[in-house]
Amino acid sequence: MKFDNLAFVAARQAPAQKALKRLKSLYPHVPPRDADVIVALGGDGYALRTLHRFMKRGVPIFGMNRGSVGFLMNGYQEQDLLERLAAAQPIILHPLHMTAIDLDGKRHRALAINEVSLLRETRLAAKLRVSVDKVVRLEEMICDGVLVATPAGSTAYNLSVHGPIIPLGTELLALTPISVFRPRRWRGALLPHNASVTFEVLDPEDRRVSATADNTEVRGVARVVVREELNLAPTLLFDPEHNLEERVLKEQFQP
């Protein structure tokens, strides 16, 4: 790949801002609106925010880790950036589209690169009815919450609640409960990527539930529908030796 117009963006933390200043002094750059590739400096949270910010433009994102985890980032290196970009491998992601209807009947829409999660808001466990493609699969689930994760997000929150790691390109979604009480032995499901998942909150006034799509939260929801958004395809760029597909595969063999 060849890119002519680079833009640099960075998280507000000091390491990212220091890297931003340094890279701008080393390489010609343009404002993000004029760029054909954007170099993002920060951690995974900032990578997600950058993907959301430029998703509709379709400009690829090359992240360099100046944050904590950096699973979605490449290693930070100031030299040979143009050569790295030329050799980078693209990973195309399809976000999830969340439609949440709150207790007042208001409809909220948001996109998620990693996952859409439902969580109880009070001391009372959530009671949820779960349908897949309009077929009820769980009449009542009592739990702290539940999430739907993309392959790219399967190693994030999904993994921390013992959900499956999904290799990229498998066209699957993970449906994973969070601290499920009933049905006691249900541990989740793998769904086709084009499935539509509906969560109905039972007794939503007393057992309040929030819904979150990445960094967008809606509180007091009554019904949430999650599906893959095929019309959007944000792209992350990775050094060949740090390809995201290899990272997702490697994560499955961690002790």
Of these residues, 34, 36, 44, 214, which one is catalytic? 44
Tokens coding 175: 């449906």
For 239, residues 6+ apart whose C-beta sits below 8 A from its C-beta are: 74, 75, 84, 87, 88, 89
Residue 80: active-site member: no
N- to C-terminal Cα distance for the chain?
36
Cα–Cα distance between 100 and 210 in angstroms, integer? 9
Q: Please, is 179 exposed, middle or buried when counting C-beta atoms within 10 Å of its C-beta (0-12, 13-18, 19+)?
A: middle
Give, as one character, the DSSP assignment of residue 208: -
Q: Which residues pair with 118 in a beta bridge?
A: 146, 211
- Residue 146 C-beta-side C-alpha neighbours within 13 Å: 33
**Cβ-contact 20, 41 below 8 angstroms:** yes
Active site residues: 44
